[in-house]
Amino acid sequence: MKTLIAPSILAADFGNLQRDVEMINKSKADWFHIDIMDGVFVPNISFGMPVLKSISNHATKPLDIHLMIVDPDRYIKNFVELKAAVITVHYEACKNLKNTLRTIRSNNVKTGVAINPETSINVIEELLDEIDLVCIMSVNPGFGGQIFIENTYNKVKELNEVIKFKKHSTLIEIDGGVTNTNAVKLIKLGADVLVAGSFVFKSENPLNTIRDLKQV
């Protein structure tokens, strides 16, 4: 499978959001990656339902919704209604992860689980048959523009080996500090989806940057 590229809207220009959404529509990107932050689970607040609805109305590619919030179960229906293709919840934020995943899947939406940099992949190994995508956080969640954490490589390699051994089809997504430099090694180790925020939106030509990532 060709690596999927999911530009992170968190790094977009919120004053020109429609312009940036349309840029992704025209680009070689595969998904929109949308971080929802509540200021509780992470020390930052992103956008709420009205802004997400506006993005959904203009987006022509699947929405990869990343919930950095406590008690995500309360809002799953809302994100389903806003046409989420993937809903990712944090292992660290769920009281009963299996139930949360089954609720997402019962709405015909792909399931994702994110794990923080300090969290071992061991915590999700027994649930891989319930998980369509594992999002490995390669920065501490909450803010864009952070430096990539080198230990991510080891986690990708380890998770890829487990997925192959168990013969699952779970995708590995990398979120945080992704560039065309570390993308090469991440893909070689087993990454399937690359989330890129600042690297795309702060570049001179985001369309070319996305194209170059897609060609790595």
Closest by Cα among 80, 200, 193 to 138: 193
Domain containing 106 — which CATH number? 3.20.20.70
Q: Which of 35, 38, 64, 132 is catalytic?
A: 35
Is residue 116 a contact partner of residue 139, using CB atoms and an 8 Å limit?
Answer: no
Judged by phi (left if over 0) then psi (alpha if -120 to 50, else beta), residue 141 lies in beta
The number of distinct structural domains making up the chain is: 1
13 is catalytic: no
Q: What is the mean pLDDT of each run of 10 residues along the chain (216 residues)?
A: 93 94 98 93 84 94 96 95 97 96 97 97 95 96 80 98 96 96 97 96 97 94
175 is catalytic: yes
pLDDT single digits (tens) 76-86: 999 999 999 99
pLDDT single digits (tens) 28-67: 999 999 999 998 888 788 888 889 999 999 999 999 999 9
Q: Which of 30, 38, 64, 175 is catalytic?
A: 175
How many helices (H) and strands (E) would you count in the chain? 8, 8
Owning domain of residue 103: 4-214
